[in-house]
Amino acid sequence: PARTAVAGATGAEALRKAAEGLDLADRALAALHFGIAEGRRREAADRLAALDQLLAAVPAAERARLDPAGHDQVEEGLVRARRQADPAAALRRAGDLAPYVHEHLDRVLARRHEEQARAAAAEGLVAELADRLAVLEADAARAQVPLDGAEDARRAVEGLQAAARRGELEAVQAATAPVHAALEAAERGLDDLCDRIVERREVLQSIVAALPGTGFQVDPASYREGVDGALELRAYGHAGQAFAVLVRDNPDARTEVLYTTDAMAGEVAAGTPGRSCAPLLDIIERLSEEARGDGFEPGAVRWDDADDPDRPPPAGRAVPPGQQGRTARGAA
């Protein structure tokens, strides 16, 4: 209408009024354009703020670690949208960026969940190994025997715990199997040792039951059990002669019984060993008969310092059971 008025004006005054109308119309149009632009700018800012709020749910460093490509794409898109001078273009960029933000966050959250699940599984494996080691150590303590490999296993488990706390899940997974195998071996070794200790106790009980029939009385106060599971006991004859017995593992992890007497010790000290060998062998044979009746099969008797296991040596020295010297050995 303003432009029509200008075109139809026939006088100066009419032309002036028509021009004023045109100016007002232009101003109104400019205000309308400005309002539209401001609205688009505010809408774009609101959309970008909403995207920022969504992204703030996960720290940027974690997003960059879990989805580096998505993180870079989203951050670059945000920078470009904020730098866009055209409000309409800024609004379009904000709208176009929204799906990428959602996809990026979905990937980040999914990978975080997977990582947390792996961490929980690794911590569970380490806790299981630690619990198993604690049980084995407790079993060994109750049996009063050493647990082979316990120190190395403990260091390995502590290393796994530290790695799990640091989030080194791959290292934990890689080291779990060897530690598990080591604990399996320690458990088997402990079971075997406990079985042999039970066997040694049963052998010693058989000897204790048979000793009175050989003229010796057991001294209960002399009983000793070593840290390695070896069992030692002394008995005394009517004339006060001592008879010592040691039941232990030999180097082949088989039960062996060591015997010695005061009479043999005196002969060795005098340099005339030999006379006590036959009586000792007689006592051992009677003890072996008792052991056979209890289900054990004693092996051949040999002497600590003999080249020929069937012949007593010409010389030697008297020692307590378990040390090298004039000691008769019997394999249970």
pLDDT digits (tens, 9 = 90+) for 106-116: 999 999 999 88
Helix 169-210 / helix 150-165 crossing angle, nearest 10 deg: 160
Distances (CA, A) of 229 to 32, 64, 136, 270, 272: 99, 59, 16, 34, 34
Average pLDDT for the chain: 76
Residue 195 pLDDT > 60: yes
Kindly report the pTM of this predicted structure: 0.56
Segments in the chain forming alpha helices (H): 2-8, 12-55, 60-66, 68-83, 87-143, 150-165, 169-210, 262-270, 277-293
Q: Which of 152, 304, 148, 296 is nearest to 228 (CA)?
A: 148
Residue with tokens 């706390």: 165
Percent of the chain at pLDDT above 90?
Answer: 17
Average pLDDT rounded to a whole number, residues 304-330: 39
**Per residue in 266-289, pLDDT tens?**
555 555 555 555 566 667 777 777
316 or 100: which leads in pLDDT: 100
Distances (CA, A) of 130 to 150, 151, 179: 11, 13, 10
Average pLDDT rounded to a whole number, residues 276-304: 64
In the 8-state DSSP scheme, what is residue 247? E
pLDDT at position 320 is 36
pLDDT band at 328 (very low <50, low <70, confident <90, very high): very low
CB distance 292 to 298 below 8 Å: yes
Residue 127 half-sphere exposure toward CB, CA atoms < 13 A: 7
Q: Is 181 exposed, middle or buried (0-12, 13-18, 19+ CB in 10 A)?
A: exposed
Residue 307 half-sphere exposure toward CB, CA atoms < 13 A: 2
**Per residue in 13-61, pLDDT tens?**
665 666 666 667 666 666 666 565 566 667 767 788 888 888 999 999 9
144 or 263: which leads in pLDDT: 144
Q: Lowest mean pLDDT: which of 138-142, 192-196, 300-304?
A: 300-304
pLDDT at position 329 is 45
pLDDT at position 70 is 94
Residue 332 pLDDT > 60: no
CB distance 150 to 140 below 8 Å: yes
97 or 261: which leads in pLDDT: 97
Residue 80 pLDDT > 70: yes
11 or 92: which leads in pLDDT: 92
Tokens for 288? 């072996």
Between CA 90 and CA 81 the distance in angstroms is: 5
pLDDT at position 325 is 34
Most trustworthy range by pLDDT among 67-76, 144-153, 200-209: 67-76
